[in-house]
């Protein structure tokens, strides 16, 4: 019994002892100038309600962003190669109306007005 108690005390004493800690700073990040995305869609939403904007390729919808009603926003398109032909789609948040532009070739910024 004494050996078990002594072993427990030694275990606790070593577990709670001082630890070596190495402190440093993170590397300095490289500063870059903000740039316009290589591929984007300029959504002008003329509706009173917000729309969800999608890129459709191969039958798959990829959600980009929600754009508020009566506003305009540049939405970057990531994960798609320049030169791809896709459909740009906007769906009202109530799901009643869908607006789309088929065969949009991704290159630079594409202007998409709703409606």
Where is 91: in which H helix or E strand? strand 85-92
In a domain, 25, yes or no: no
Q: For position 47, which CATH number holds? A: 2.60.40
The range of the structural domain enclosing residue 76 comes to 38-115
Of the listed ranges 5-9, 73-77, 83-87, the least confidently predicted one is 5-9
Which of 49, 51, 43, 47 has the alpha carbon at shortest distance from 74? 43
The structure's pTM equals 0.67
Over range 95-113, report the average pLDDT: 96
Please count the structural domains in the chain.
1
- Distance set, CA 67 to CA 38, 61, 90 (Å): 20, 16, 9
pLDDT 10s digits, 82-94: 999 999 999 999 9
Number of Cβ atoms within 10 Å of the Cβ of 107: 11
In a domain, 67, yes or no: yes
pLDDT 10s digits, 36-72: 458 999 999 999 999 999 999 999 999 999 999 999 9
């Amino acid at each position: 019994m004494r050996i078990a108690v002594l072993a427990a005390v030694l275990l606790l004493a070593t577990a709670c002892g001082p630890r070596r800690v190495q402190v440093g700073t993170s590397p300095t990040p490289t500063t870059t100038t903000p740039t316009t995305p290589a591929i984007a869609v300029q959504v002008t939403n003329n509706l009173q309600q917000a729309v969800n904007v999608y890129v459709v390729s191969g039958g798959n919808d990829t959600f980009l962003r929600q754009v508020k009603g009566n506003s305009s926003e540049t939405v970057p398109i990531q994960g798609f190669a320049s030169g791809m032909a896709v459909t740009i789609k906007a769906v009202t948040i109530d799901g009643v109306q869908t607006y789309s532009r088929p065969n949009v070739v991704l290159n630079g910024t594409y202007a998409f007005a709703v409606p």
